Amino acid sequence: MPELDSAMLSRLLTSMTLGFHIIFATLGVGVPLLISGAEWIGIRRNDEHYRLLARRWTRGFVVTVAVGVVTGTCIGLQLSLLWPSFMEVAGQVIGLPLFLETFAFFFEAIFLGIYLYTWDRFKNPYYHWLISVPVVIGSTLSAFFISTVNAFMNSPKGFKLEDGQITEIQPLVAMFNPATPTKASHVISSAYLTSAFVLAALTAFLILKKGPSAYYKKALHFTMVTAFVFAISTAVIGDFSGKYLAEYQPEKLAAAEWHFETEKGADLIVGGVLDENNEVKYGLRLPNFLSILAHGNPNAEVIGLEEFPEDERAPLFIHYLFDAMVGIGMFLAALSTVYLILSKWKKAWSLSKLFLWAIVISGPLAMLAIEFGWIFSEVGRQPWILWHVMETKDGATTSEHVGSMFILFFALYVVLGWICTTVLLKMFRNNPVETEFEQMDR
């Protein structure tokens, strides 16, 4: 069991903060797109159901943004307090996207405020919808810029480190490193996907509770169609991510797939357990699939863990995280595909209790996939905080008070989670859809 020194406690505290923040960050990226899309459809079809969807989703979104601001601030604070040596390097090299991420957030926040307070203020409703576009752009750019920072940690470029001195800094090279295309696109697409399934899950639950009104059926159809689009895009980007790992981080891919020996025509292992000799038992082997994932060629050679020192190998439990992430992604893609088929040919089946419960479950599963994917990405990079430049233990603080900070931040997140949940429940319970329709008809 790893020793709970200051470095490990720093990792645990940062993990807890990011694990909590990523819930709100994901919704913060994806929900604006769905709000904008719902309002646009409502205006185009002159359908008040879709416009009301946009209104109600916006109210909930503002609450999650408020919590996300707090947790995002905690991350910035912890980077400076817990990882001073890392920030000494990263702060100089990758400061540009950190600044741009803040700018993108303020850009989003300004237009979100305008969007909130200008409902029904324009004779032409498209003017109000246009205000939502900068909100979508700002939230997406915020995700892009912060993803480039994480990409830099996996593929540090744009500087030289000689005798502890940083020279030849190139901010744009650091920002647009080889990991950026797959990392940023996967983060953004999966945020859209997860947000669509979360809203679809809430809608399915309300249909089960209140019945399939026209409003809820439209909400479910819109979110599930959106989910289908981004399930496909996330799967395609995931394939490119596998090929990136094979080229730039082969030891991470090998650890994730329990691939110990370099060989051609490598099998992909699903599930299973490892014995004391690192032999896989009870796993499902898919012949040549790892070579296809890594290089798009069933006969391609895939580098095994034997090529790397033991102290530079990631923990092998990331195999389960990878399997869970991919498995959930496949389930979500299949569920949205089946919904589209049923909604076209067997509409009654798409609103059956069994299928609706599957959609309800898809929301939490989608968020779990985000958590599993993030943990896989970060733990799979170990022991490096900067890939082959700085080890995690060398970037951490040596303070003796990290344990106390962990307890304080844990209490903060419990309170924030309780407040957010309570406010959202009261907000929508005290103002149901039916009441709003009655007020609109007066």
Instruction: Flag whether pLDDT at 40 surpasses 90.
Output: yes
Give percent of the chain with pLDDT exceeding 70. 96
Name the 3-class secondary structure at 374. Answer: helix
The distance in angstroms from the start CA to the end CA of the chain is 65
Q: Establish if 292 belongs to a structural domain.
A: no
Quote the pTM value: 0.91
pLDDT at position 442 is: 47
The mean per-residue pLDDT over the stretch 212-233 comes to 90
User: Which range marks the domain in which residue 341 is found?
Assistant: 6-262+303-441
How many structural domains does the chain have? 1
What mean pLDDT, rounded, does the chain reach? 86
CA distance 362 to 204: 10
Q: Which residues pair with 386 in a beta bridge?
A: 390
pLDDT (tens digit per residue) in 101-114: 888 888 888 998 88
Tokens of 434: 């039916």
- Whether 322 and 270 have beta carbons less than 8 Å apart is answered as no
Q: Is residue 90 domain-resident?
A: yes
Q: Is residue 121 part of a domain?
A: yes
Q: How much is the pLDDT for 434?
A: 64
Q: How is residue 407 written in tokens?
A: 């307890």
116 neighbors 62 (Cβ within 8 angstroms) = yes
Q: Is the pLDDT of residue 441 over 50?
A: no
pLDDT in tens, 192-206: 999 999 999 999 998
Residue 303 or residue 435, greater confidence: 303
Tens-place pLDDT, residues 381-400: 888 888 888 888 888 888 78
pLDDT of 237 over the 60 cut: yes
Q: Cα–Cα distance between 286 and 274 in angstroms, integer?
A: 17
**180: in domain:** yes
pLDDT score at 228: 94
Would 191 be classed as within a structural domain? yes
pLDDT tops 80 at residue 165: no
8 A C-beta contact, residue 165 and residue 92:
no
* Average of per-residue pLDDT across 153-175: 82
| Residue pair 410/108 in contact by the 8 Å Cβ criterion | no
Q: What is the mean pLDDT of residues 83-93?
A: 82
Per-residue model confidence as pLDDT tens digits over 130-143: 999 999 999 999 99
Mean pLDDT of all residues in 71-88: 84
Partner residues linked to 301 by β-bridges: 264
pLDDT digits (tens, 9 = 90+) for 357-385: 999 999 999 999 999 998 998 888 888 88
Bigger pLDDT: 10 vs 275: 10
Q: Write down the pLDDT at residue 70.
A: 85
pLDDT, residue 227, reads 93
The mean pLDDT of 324-336, rounded to a whole number, is 92
Tell whether 275 is covered by a domain: no
Q: 290 lies in a domain?
A: no
Helix, strand or coil for residue 270?
Answer: strand
pLDDT of 168 higher than 70: yes
Write down the pLDDT at residue 438. Answer: 57
Check pLDDT > 90 for residue 223.
Answer: yes
271, part of any domain: no
Q: Which two tokens stand for residue 63?
A: 């609450």
Arithmetic mean of pLDDT, 177-188: 91
Identify the weakest region by mean pLDDT among 2-6, 27-31, 387-391. Answer: 2-6
Residue 149 has pLDDT above 50, yes or no: yes
User: Using one digit for the tens of pLDDT, what is the confidence trace for 401-432?
Assistant: 888 888 998 999 999 889 888 888 887 877 77
**What is the residue-wise DSSP string for 204-218?**
HHHHHHH---HHHHH
